[in-house]
Amino acid sequence: MKWWQKAVFYQIYPRSFMDSNGDGIGDIPGIIQKLDYLNDGTPQSLGIDAIWFSPFFVSPQKDFGYDIADYCNIDPCYGTLEDFDRLVEECHKRGIRVMLDLVVNHTSDQHPWFLESRSSRDNPKRDWYIWRDGRGKKPPNNWRSIFSGSAWEWDEHTGQWYLHSFLREQPDLNWANPEVREAIHAVIRFWLDRGADGFRLDVPHTYCKDPQFRNNPPFWKRPPLDRQRLRDKVFFEKTIALFGLPDFQYKQYNLHQPQTHEILRGFRRVLDEYPDAVSIGEILADYPETVASYYGRGDELHMNFYFDFAECPWDAGAFRRRVEHWLSLLPAGSWPAWTLSNHDRIRAISRYGKPGVENQQAKLLAMLLLTLPGTPFIYYGEEIGMKDPRLPKRLIQDPVGKKLWPFHKGRDSQRTPMQWDDSETAGFSAGTPWLPVGPELSARNVRSQDKDPSSLLNFWRNLIWLRKKKTALLEGGYRALTENIPADCYVFSRSTPGQEILVCLNFSRKPRTIPLPGKRTPLFSTHNLRSKKPVDTLTLAPLEGCLLEA
């Protein structure tokens, strides 16, 4: 197996993890201070094997690092290239791999490439971006920005429109230009040569556009969606369309274009020059079949996130069906990745949590995440049950929240400072944090949970370290058990020729009895008090998860 197939990944949003200099913004030296917390080689640490870092490259911070003005340098608010080198050294010393965020659908409008491109129509870098004549005084076509409004911005100086799939400060690169491809390949090599171990690709499904720039059709002309997804999509798009915000259109011609796969094969050829390098894609699509296509024939992305899993209702059967549907779609030899939270979506505990049982639910989800076949990704603070606060409009920093309030309140709530202790700034900064600290700080912080054997933090620690020891959980096959299993339980087996582990998850708030396929010995539970005697029938407490060995 490759290292990334056995790894537990941890996503750090650098701005919010640890501030070393008191300016209220997290930074690379602050991250280095906390690496022992993530993995010091002992079960007293979390046991993380790899970190995905959200962008810390030079940026005007219009989209907090996802608008990059220099791909090969570190933004001063986060540190220096020397700090990055020390980060790599300290991570590797602890057996932690380093994954960077590759944001190359667009650059910042302050990137030297774009400044050259917009300087004149005959500049050599003009074709590095997407420029078009308009239709009279109207944009070239009807494409809409993912962040609302037209995807086109008028440039008075050169008398043309440029394309931006996101903010107007984020002009799209022209991936039809071979020079752009070579420039980004050079960026990839720069960071791999400097010690990075791979990349998370930001929205690669947006890279390529229809060469004819045809108008997108209306929403109702898209292929059929499943009922729940259609209901969610129609409600959201109808609501915001009333206020002239996003689009109410089917993005047929500016997302998921067939030539994207050749771009990704080019990336893969570069990555394959470095035998241990890995890639994972953030593919947002209405159909999981579309997401699965980005594995190619084993020659595109190594892994893809499956966001239907993170958006599943609290229902055992729904989780099982989505897991099995995704596994059935993967091309032969492909490897799944799983996540429940990230910097763009509601934290799982805030999405699912019910008063009084939130931590039980969080432990159950952790057990599911860490026992499925594939690679789990944890979002910073998930291990202590950090929750999304409700922020008033005056505190919103996210440009999406500012633009779409109150219909979309932005992504700040899932980006609040890491909660290291219960002090006023949660131990994150000696200054005023760039975002307020989250709720329930007295209980949801590292210091208070560290010494509590029954805490959520210690549950994550214990299960991650157990996972490392159990071959069946790392590389075993998957088989769901459904016969005589209660509808609100999810039971599956992970097995190798020499080992089998049964995973039993009760999503109900009532006890449930599971008939076992022969005698099994309880190995690990979300609930502390459980006999280790072999049993052939297992009674699960409400919201209990249990691992058993043959």
Q: Which residues are catalytic?
A: 202, 282
CA nearest to 53, candidates 11, 9, 114, 111: 11
Structure tokens at 247: 């689009």
Cis peptide bond prior to 439, omega within 30° of 0: no
Residues 6+ apart with CB under 8 A from 111: 68, 69, 70
Residue pair 316/361 in contact (Cβ under 8 Å)? The answer is: no
Residue 33, H or E segment? helix 28-33
CA nearest to 10, candidates 418, 547, 441: 418
Residue pair 79/86 in contact (Cβ under 8 Å)? The answer is: no
Residues 6+ apart with CB under 8 A from 17: 26, 30, 31, 34, 380, 418, 428
Residue pair 17/26 in contact (Cβ under 8 Å)? The answer is: yes
At residue 172's C-alpha, the angle toward residues 166 and 173, to 5°, is 155
CA nearest to 268, candidates 306, 305, 302: 302
- C-alpha separations of 384 from 156, 310, 324, 363, 461 in Å: 51, 18, 29, 10, 11
Residue pair 442/409 in contact (Cβ under 8 Å)? The answer is: no
Q: Are strands 70-74 and 9-12 parallel, antiparallel or unpaired?
A: unpaired
Residue pair 373/327 in contact (Cβ under 8 Å)? The answer is: yes
Q: How far apart are CA 123 and CA 108, in angstroms?
A: 18
Amino acid at 163: L
Alpha helix positions (H), 242-287: 260-271
Residue pair 315/368 in contact (Cβ under 8 Å)? The answer is: no
